[in-house]
Amino acid sequence: MNKVVSRQQLSRGITRLEIQAPRIAEIRQPGQFVIVCLAEDSERIPLTIADSDPQRGNITLVIQNVGHSTQELGNLRVGESLFAVTGPLGHPTELPDQGCALCVGGGVGAAVVHPIAQGLHRRGVKVTSIIGARTREQLIFETELRRFGDLIVCTDDGSHGCTGLVTDPLRTQLAAGPWAVVYAVGPAAMMQAVAELTRPAQIRTIVSLNPVMIDGTGMCGGCRVSVGGVTKFACVDGPEFDGHLVDYHDLLDRLTTYHTFEKSGPGGAKDHCKL
């Protein structure tokens, strides 16, 4: 049982939870995630460890409400408990020892990129972050990311920072290089767009993939992704991969597997028929 010690509504649909998980808080590294299970019969949901406080034994999760389980998690109140939090899982982010790095986060990806920027900053790497959201209300982790270096903000509707997508300021920044590495976390289409921009100059680009997961230990094979034509299990081989080698189309497509189910509600399972 892991208790919720603080809760903050970051925007409509995005919740930040601080959860008691002392061991994970103590050893987690940038890029790692946990699998949470709200109740014994809940789904097992992968979530990035956005931050941790080893002294108090807490980890921070930032949850975007996209479906049933993320909604239930987002509705948790302080003092309530999760049935299980397992981790830290996945490989830690590959971090350079020096130079300059760009961190690009779209939507809830800003929270996922946060521990990476934090890790880079602790090693003395110069960090520039670019984060974007649809509107000002949906922008998260602005203050947090500003602590680690320069921050460029953009919104689709121009309600905050520059108008447009994260790829717009990215273009300018790339030209201003040199960059040791670019990290991109967000919707698959965004990560793909970033990777296409960094490809010509062959700037090392690392993306964090979010396939459906169950166990998170390499046992089920459900999280498989195609990287450089080779099948990888994101939970144990990733979740971060070389952004120039990822098959984003395959990732996006596989994420839609349970759409019919999630939308059809009661009876969905039996109604589902494709032949």
Partner 1 sequence: MNQLTQSRMPSRQHLPIPRQKMPEQDAAARADNFNEVNLGLTEEAARLEAGRCLQCKKPRCVGGCPVAVNIPKFLGLVAENRLAEAAHVLRCDNALPAVTGRVCPQEKQCEAHCVLGRKGSAVGIGYLERFVADWADQHCPPPAAAISAQGKKVAIVGSGPAGLTAAGELARRGYAVTIYEALHKAGGVLSYGIPEFRLPKKIVAREIERLQAAGVTFRCNVVIGRTYTIQELQAQFDAIFIANGAGLPAFMNIPGESLKGVYAANEYLTRINLMNAHRFPDSRTPVLNGRRVAVIGAGNVAMDAVRSARRLGAAEAMIVYRRSRNEMPARIEEINHAEAEGITLQLLTAPLEIIGDDRRWVTGLKCQRMQMGAPDASGRARPEPVPGSEFILPCDVVVMAIGTRANPLLTATCPELKLNAHGNIIVDENGMTSLAGVFAGGDIVRGAATVILAMGDGKRAAKSIDQHLRAQPPAAN
Nearer to ligand FAD, 100 or 108 (CB): 108
- The verdict on 176 binding ligand FES (CB under 6 A) reads no
221 scored as a contact of ligand FES (CB under 6 A): yes
Helix residue ranges per DSSP H, the chain: 22-27, 68-74, 109-122, 142-146, 167-176, 188-198, 234-237, 248-255, 259-264, 268-271
* Residues 149, 129: Cα–Cα separation, whole Å: 7
**x-or-dash pattern for ligand FES, window 224-243, by CB under 6 A?**
---------x-x--------
Residues 50, 40: contact at Cβ < 8 Å?
no
The footprint of partner 1 on this chain (CB under 8 A) covers a number of residues equal to 49
By beta-carbon proximity to ligand FES, the closer residue of 162 and 220 is 220
CA–CA distance, 257 with 264 (Å, rounded to integer) = 13
In whole angstroms, the minimum distance from the beta carbon of 48 to ligand FAD comes to: 4
Q: Is 206 among the residues that bind ligand FES (CB under 6 A)?
A: no
Give the number of C-alpha atoms closer than 13 A to the C-alpha of residue 221, restricted to the C-beta side: 1
Asked if 48 touches ligand FAD (CB under 6 A), the answer is yes
Residue 101, token pair as written in the block: 């790095």
Question: Residue 75, interface with ligand FAD (CB under 6 A)?
Answer: no
CA 271 to centroid of chain Cα atoms: 33
Q: Does 67 bind ligand FAD (CB under 6 A)?
A: yes
Cα 186 to Cα 239: distance, rounded to the nearest angstrom: 13
- Identify which range of 77-85, 110-118, 181-189, 195-203 contacts partner 1 by CB under 8 A: 77-85
The smaller minimum CB distance to ligand FES, of residues 166 and 234, is found at 234
CA 135 to CA 130: how far, in whole Å? Answer: 15
* Closer to ligand FES by Cβ: residue 18 or 240: 240
The token duo for 225 is 């992704």
Helix (H, G, I), strand (E, B) or coil at 71: helix
- Which of the residues 81 through 140 are near ligand FAD (CB under 6 A)? 108, 111-112
User: Greatest CA separation found in the chain?
Assistant: 57
Q: Under the rule (CB under 6 A), what is the footprint of ligand FAD?
A: 33, 43, 45-48, 62-64, 66-70, 108, 111-112, 210-213, 217, 239, 255-256, 259, 262
Q: Under the rule (CB under 8 A), what is the footprint of partner 1?
A: 23-24, 27, 37, 40-44, 68-69, 83-89, 214-222, 224, 226, 231, 236, 250, 253-254, 256-258, 261-262, 265-270, 272-275
